[in-house]
Chain A
Amino acid sequence: MDESKVRREAERVLKELSEALGEISLEETYYVVEEINVTRNDAEPELNPEFRKAALKIAPHKDEEGYYIAEMGSWV
């Protein structure tokens, strides 16, 4: 992939979209569903016993104890 081409195009896309938009002063709409306080009760915990196995199966790096293995910290 030509990454510099992607970047160049991205700049042009942003410029054109931004110009097409123009200026405005209105409230921002973050949510289409205008709800507040959508909460749930702290009920009894649930666990799907199949999940762990399925999740670890697709993990690229893990150990026999069931830890995921990520990179080591750069400062240690």
Chain B
Amino acid sequence: MSVIEELQSGALSAEENVARYFEAIEARDGEINAFIEVNSRAIEEARAVDEKIKQGRAGKLAGLAIAVKSNINVMGLRATCASKTLENYVAPYDATVIERIRREDGIIIGMTNMDEFACGSSGETSYFGPTQNPAAKGRIPGGSSSGSAAAIAANFADLALGSDTGGSIRNPASHCGVVGIKPTYGLVPRYGLIDLAMSLDQIGPLARDVYSAALLLEVIAGYNPKEATTLRVSRPDYTSKLSADLSGYTIGFAKEFEEYTSPEIIREVKHALAKLEAQGASVVEVELPNLSKALPTYYLTVFVEFFSATRRYDGRRYGYRIEEVCGEEVLRRILLGRYISQKEYSGKYYRRALQFRSLIKKEMLEALSGVDLIAGPTTPKLPHRIGESIDPLAMYAYDLLTVPANLAGIPAGVIKVGEVGEIPVGIQFHAKPLEEQKILNAMYALEGG
């Protein structure tokens, strides 16, 4: 019986559920470092939910313990972005996704560790120290939603929220062997998500199974009148339409993936493709000739948007002035953003990147036009050992296969398909805008198979 069923049947109370996660965190998070702060009111909130369950008026997420990335505002908890800059920033309001979770009686169990301001792909740039990969001892968990993925992998929560600007949900999901989804841009409200790059950021779920990821996604997704880049779509219903039957699905695979990815990862992905064929899907080849342009396009865009987003951290209303306290990677991005956003250089870098963005978007949508999904690897290589010295460009290269989805605004999801020397490997699915259901179904099929 799943936790959701146990909670609904009354076999497990919300309070018991939260309490056992607290025990696990207490016992093992000293080593993993997935959380920056736990919610001291969680037990109290769980009791209130238990009351509602008894009265038969509890919501969809009743009693589920949800870990939240530290760049999402949860009123009364610290949204530090794992930076000294916001070390003492206690959120004075709730992000829209948090309001939606509360409305469905989910319980926020704590705020998770991450790369500082989501600038990183390893979980090592946190001011609160690196997070360990629970699925591969000594390795990085990936990033930047490192703590959220680790919390799921380590069994510290039922569900987690991450954010994904260029792979920050999918990369750690792959390294930690869990399910992670980057939704269509504009599907999930960003109100209350602390910016990395506004035109690319999306909040999404991380979970141990596809059903619960779909459940969290359908709770947080849908039109938000409080923001201007939201899509005018009603609340989706993924869970009731979840199906492992892939007959009629055409899945594309790009040969360019092989060019940039370690062979042992490709091997696992191809193994999974064979399984999908067994479930009724047909696999075809698609072309992504400009795949290598996605990474520089992505980073030049991020530098400028991140520079702009960080101008409010001036130490006057909260926290510290960012340049005075931040880590190396954050400072590097601010300096680069400040430099290339100068009037005289904007044509050379930022606007050129935006032109390439048009190219990547067009290429991704064209490649998807003839297929239901594009499947491929999530990261080009396996996670390195914690503490291993990595050059900034080598770190950026982790994102090569995840940034196209953000540049094109399309949904993408990751699920574990195998291991290489006990290190998890995840397959990544891309779909057309708002076709999250197809990604969920393909992942559901792999999970069952």
| Contact across chains for A28 and B315 when beta carbons are under 8 A apart | no
The one of A29, A38, A48 that contacts B357, using a Cβ cutoff of 8 Å: A29
Tell me which of A22, A28, A32, A51 has the highest count of chain B C-beta atoms within 10 A of its own C-beta: A32
Given contacts A14-B339, A24-B356, contact A33 B186 (CB under 8 A): yes
A interface, size bucket = 35 or more
Given contacts A14-B340, A21-B353, contact A58 B328 (CB under 8 A): no
State in angstroms the CA–CA spacing of A61 and B320 once bound together: 11
| Contact across chains for B93 and A48 when beta carbons are under 8 A apart | yes
| Contact across chains for A9 and B332 when beta carbons are under 8 A apart | yes
- B430 to A: closest C-beta gap in Å: 14
| Contact across chains for B229 and A33 when beta carbons are under 8 A apart | yes
| Contact across chains for A30 and B317 when beta carbons are under 8 A apart | no
| Contact across chains for A25 and B90 when beta carbons are under 8 A apart | no
**Would you give the 0/1 interface string for A20-42, flagging 1 where the beta carbon is closer than 8 Å to chain B?**
11111111111111010010100
The residue in chain A whose Cβ has the minimal distance to the Cβ of B333 is A10
Q: Which residues of B contact A23 (CB under 8 A)?
A: 352
- B320 to A: closest C-beta gap in Å: 8
State in angstroms the CA–CA spacing of A51 and B185 once bound together: 29
Q: Which residues of B contact A38 (CB under 8 A)?
A: 228-229
Q: Is residue A60 within 8 Å, beta carbon to beta carbon, of the partner chain?
A: yes
Q: Is residue A55 within 8 Å, beta carbon to beta carbon, of the partner chain?
A: yes
Binds A, one of B20-28, B118-126, B289-297: B289-297
| Contact across chains for A59 and B299 when beta carbons are under 8 A apart | no
**Contact residues of B between 328 and 362, Cβ < 8 Å to A:** 328, 331-332, 335-336, 339-340, 348-349, 351-359, 361
The residue in chain A whose Cβ has the minimal distance to the Cβ of B349 is A18
Q: Which residues of A contact B75 (CB under 8 A)?
A: 50, 54
Q: Which residues of A contact B299 (CB under 8 A)?
A: 13, 17
Q: Which residues of A contact B199 (CB under 8 A)?
A: 30-32
State in angstroms the CA–CA spacing of A58 and B76 once bound together: 11
Given contacts A10-B335, A28-B358, A32-B185, contact A40 B225 (CB under 8 A): yes
The residue in chain A whose Cβ has the minimal distance to the Cβ of B326 is A1
| Contact across chains for B316 and A68 when beta carbons are under 8 A apart | yes
The residue in chain A whose Cβ has the minimal distance to the Cβ of B230 is A33
Q: Is residue B393 within 8 Å, beta carbon to beta carbon, of the partner chain?
A: yes
Tell me which of A22, A28, A40 has the highest count of chain B C-beta atoms within 10 A of its own C-beta: A28
State in angstroms the CA–CA spacing of A60 and B348 once bound together: 39
Q: Is residue A16 within 8 Å, beta carbon to beta carbon, of the partner chain?
A: yes
Contacts A/B (CB < 8 Å), 20 sampled:
A1-B331, A9-B332, A14-B340, A21-B293, A22-B293, A25-B355, A26-B355, A27-B355, A28-B351, A29-B361, A31-B229, A33-B230, A35-B228, A55-B92, A58-B89, A60-B315, A60-B317, A60-B318, A60-B319, A61-B316
B residues whose Cβ falls under 8 Å from a Cβ of A: 75-76, 88-90, 92-93, 185-186, 199-200, 225, 228-231, 292-293, 295-297, 299-300, 315-319, 327-328, 331-332, 335-336, 339-340, 348-349, 351-359, 361, 392-393, 396, 408-409
